[in-house]
């Protein structure tokens, strides 16, 4: 979501949707909308700015009673050029997926704040699980939407300058124009293109060591904005990364909706899913755009993931629940649903796990 209390600081200049396609129901001349809730209206009595001001003066959320678990990253494993499928949690929604020799980052943010300012906005409570200068060469970056905790300008600039050349950025429609305006070295069309925009249900491919990876942008319920004047101007979404030996889904941010059942029906299941479990309180503000742990468990079932892990928690205080609460609530939701911890778990910041696909 937008950096708390800072939403009015940035305005997009594009007044219309340059990618408007009247044949697509989620397209509008001025941007985009959700499939099942169009443009979300909050219930009467909810006031985002009143909540932002109140939480600032009441020092919300309260400090986590328990330490957020971290561990030193296994740099040797991360840097290994073998073909083993590895997943590392950097923090928040930043995941390093290493699949068939391809290094993929989701919604990368290494900045200290999820904000356009250095001294204001949600502050990082845990350092990045992998130091930026110890990353392997990044081949692909998947951006789910343009909120500051998911699209971080400073990190994108650093990735553009990485040794060996910039990665390929995959973004939802409209975010490519932000890259063109704000990121030095971004090329959104023609020779040397390194930023590729997708609509929902569109795909692109990237060649792995043994087989191509198919990357597809899939609809979830959310919204976009980097200020007050550009709400819904750019698209948002989740990503399927499909390889003959391993299928992965990155949820991005999402409120619970029929979209996830659609994803499960369309793709047929995943070996592993990264699903948001945090930023759910207060529900009158958050419910339509974020999933709580119980809803995340349902999402795992909807998308037919054999295993899932929780993201979007424990790093930035984007909502009112304590930072350590989502995994506790996830444990209860698992028990209520009769599923094991192996089926839906959480990483420590900096942890890497090796997976074997079975599809």
User: Count of alpha carbons within 13 Å of 275, Cβ hemisphere only?
Assistant: 33
Residues 339, 314: Cα–Cα separation, whole Å: 23
Residue 317, classified by CB atoms within 10 Å of its CB into exposed (0-12), middle (13-18) or buried (19+), is: buried
Which spans in the chain are helix H? 48-57, 75-79, 153-160, 175-182, 259-267, 283-286, 293-303, 325-337
Q: What is the pLDDT of residues 284-340, one digit of tens each?
A: 889 999 999 999 999 999 999 999 999 999 999 999 999 999 999 999 999 999 999
Q: Which helix (H) or strand (E) holds 311?
A: strand 305-311
Domain limits, the chain: 52-355
How confident is the model at residue 227, as a pLDDT? 87
Question: Residues 149, 109: contact at Cβ < 8 Å?
Answer: yes
Rounded-to-integer distance, Cα 245 and Cα 85, Å: 9
- Greatest distance between any 2 Cα atoms in the chain: 55
Per-residue pLDDT, averaged over 332-352, amounts to: 98
The answer to whether residue 131 scores a pLDDT higher than 80 is yes
Question: Above pLDDT 90, what percent of the chain?
Answer: 82
Given this model, what pLDDT does residue 54 score? 61
Residue 198 phi, psi dihedral angles, 5° rounding = -120, 145
* Nearest by Cα to 170 from 148, 151, 147: 151
User: Are the C-beta atoms of 275 and 55 separated by less than 8 Å?
Assistant: no
Measured between alpha carbons, how far is 97 from 100 in angstroms, rounded to an integer? 10
Are the beta carbons of 108 and 234 closer than 8 angstroms? no
Cβ neighbours, 10 Å, residue 310:
26
Per-residue confidence band for 1, with pLDDT thresholds at 50, 70 and 90: very low
* 3-state DSSP assignment of residue 95: strand
Q: What is the per-residue pLDDT for 268?
A: 98
- Kindly state the average pLDDT of the residues 249-257: 98
Over residues 198-206, the mean pLDDT reads 98
Which residues partner with 316 through β-bridges?
Answer: 124
Give me the pLDDT at residue 329, please: 98
Q: What is the pLDDT of residue 357?
A: 62
CB-based contact 26:244 (threshold 8 Å): no
- Residue 150 main-chain phi, psi, to 5 deg: -125, -25
Nearest-10 Cα torsion for 8, 14, 20, 24: -10
Query: What's the mean pLDDT in 98-112?
Result: 98
Helix (H, G, I), strand (E, B) or coil at 337: helix
- 52-355 — its CATH code? 3.60.15.10
Give the C-alpha distances (Å, rounded to integers) separating 7 from 17, 50, 98, 148, 348.
21, 13, 34, 10, 31
In this structure, what token pair is assigned to residue 45? 């009595």
pLDDT at res. 50: 63
- CA dist 97 → 138, 232, 253, 270 (Å): 10, 29, 18, 14
pLDDT band at 41 (very low <50, low <70, confident <90, very high): low
Question: What pTM value is reported for the model?
Answer: 0.92
203, containing H or E segment: strand 203-207
Nearest to 169 by CA among 132, 198, 143, 135: 143
pLDDT digits over 140-178, tens only?
Answer: 999 999 999 999 999 999 999 999 999 999 999 999 999
Q: Is 189 exposed, middle or buried (0-12, 13-18, 19+ CB in 10 A)?
A: exposed
């Amino acid at each position: 979501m937008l950096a708390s209390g800072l939403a009015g600081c940035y305005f997009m200049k594009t007044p219309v949707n340059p990618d408007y396609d009247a044949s697509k129901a989620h397209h509008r001349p001025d941007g985009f909308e959700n499939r099942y809730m169009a443009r979300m209206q909050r219930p009467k009595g909810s006031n985002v700015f009143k909540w932002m001001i109140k939480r600032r003066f009441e020092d919300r959320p309260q400090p986590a009673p328990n330490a957020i678990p971290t561990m030193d990253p296994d740099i040797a494993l991360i840097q290994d050029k073998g073909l083993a499928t590895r997943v590392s949690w950097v923090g928040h929604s930043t995941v390093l997926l290493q699949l068939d020799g391809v290094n993929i980052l989701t919604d990368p943010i290494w900045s200290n704040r999820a904000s356009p300012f250095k001294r204001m906005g949600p502050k990082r409570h845990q350092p990045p699980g992998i130091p930026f200068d110890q990353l392997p060469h990044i081949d692909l970056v998947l951006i789910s939407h343009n909120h500051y905790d998911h699209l971080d300008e400073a990190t994108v600039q650093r990735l553009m300058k990485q040794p060996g050349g910039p990665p390929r950025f995959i973004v939802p429609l409209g975010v490519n124009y932000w890259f063109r305006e704000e990121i030095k070295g971004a090329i959104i069309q023609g020779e040397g293109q390194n930023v590729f925009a997708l609509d929902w249900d569109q795909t692109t491919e990237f060649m792995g060591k043994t087989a191509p990876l198919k990357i597809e942008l899939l609809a979830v319920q959310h919204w976009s904005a980097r200020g007050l004047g550009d709400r819904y101007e750019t698209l948002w979404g989740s990503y399927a990364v499909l390889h003959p030996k391993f299928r992965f889904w990155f949820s991005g941010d999402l409120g619970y909706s029929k979209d996830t059942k659609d994803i499960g029906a369309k793709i047929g299941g995943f070996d592993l899913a990264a699903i948001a479990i945090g930023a759910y309180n207060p529900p009158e503000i958050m419910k339509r755009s974020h999933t709580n742990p119980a809803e995340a468990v349902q999402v795992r079932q909807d998308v037919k993931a054999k295993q899932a892990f929780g993201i979007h928690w424990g790093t930035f205080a984007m909502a009112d629940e304590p930072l350590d609460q989502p995994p506790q609530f996830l444990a209860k939701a698992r028990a209520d649903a009769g599923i094991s911890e192996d089926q839906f778990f959480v990483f420590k910041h900096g942890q890497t796990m090796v997976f074997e696909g079975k599809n």
